[in-house]
Amino acid sequence: MNKVSNPDFWDNLYIENSARWDLGGPTPILKHHLKHNKLTGDVCVLGCGNGHDVIELSNNNLSVYAVDFSIEAINNLKNKIPQESKIKTLHMDIFDLSKKYNDKFDFIFEYTCYCAIDPVRREEYFDLVYNLLKPNGILFGIFLPLDKKEEDGPPFSVSIDEILKYTSNRLKVLKNYYSSKSIEPRKGSEKVLIFQKI
């Protein structure tokens, strides 16, 4: 088994304060999107980590399901959840979600989860996303790193062509762009892809 498929690997990174991907707040790309688009319904955040984006989505009145198999990440998030929020934390492997949550979500948010899973599971990841979304549901993904040469990870390097291969005929591309709101070190190495379930 690849080490990244074991929650202990991630727990240790959180315990050692080595979560170098963590922005310490929501990504400005999501903030910008929420400012300009009215979302409603049930949202799922896959591999939510410390949950800054979860809180941001919840602050926009959305009912958010935050999923992570690291208990450290889930506990860090739980410690920040405002009392009145509609956040539901799910301490579980994302690949077990479809047993209970098929056709459940209007919106799935992806940021640095896809590059964290074992690359051999990428097609399975999109099977999962497809199954979790309601008809016409939206996947909002920020995919990175697009410029990594080494094969090792996490993060494992990501290719937009590969993503388009796994999503073709089932998720329609609505948008595919580099965002001016990317934080400086990620500019040009991450891309926003917005898909709608066909």
Ligand X SMILES: C[S@@+](CC[C@H](N)C(=O)[O-])C[C@H]1O[C@@H](n2cnc3c(N)ncnc32)[C@H](O)[C@@H]1O
Nearer to ligand X, 69 or 140 (CB): 69
CB of 49 to ligand X, least distance (A): 2
Nearer to ligand X, 84 or 150 (CB): 150
Nearer to ligand X, 9 or 39 (CB): 9
Q: How far is residue 118's CA from residue 3's CA, in Å, rounded to a whole number?
A: 8
Two tokens, residue 40:
């409603």
Nearer to ligand X, 10 or 107 (CB): 10
> What is the C-alpha end-to-end distance of the chain, expressed in Å?
33
- Residues in the site for ligand X, rule: CB under 6 A? 10, 21-22, 47-50, 67-70, 73, 93-95, 111-113, 116-117
CB contact at 8 A, 114 and 146? no
Nearer to ligand X, 1 or 169 (CB): 1
CB of 158 to ligand X, least distance (A): 12
Taking Cα atoms as reference points, which of 17, 1, 32 lies closest to residue 72?
Answer: 17
Q: How far is residue 140's CA from residue 24's CA, in Å, rounded to a whole number?
A: 20
Nearer to ligand X, 51 or 137 (CB): 51
CB of 123 to ligand X, least distance (A): 14
CB of 81 to ligand X, least distance (A): 16
Q: How far is residue 184's CA from residue 78's CA, in Å, rounded to a whole number?
A: 29
CB of 88 to ligand X, least distance (A): 15
Q: How far is residue 197's CA from residue 56's CA, in Å, rounded to a whole number?
A: 24
CB of 68 to ligand X, least distance (A): 4
109: how many CB neighbours lie within 10 A of its CB?
A: 27
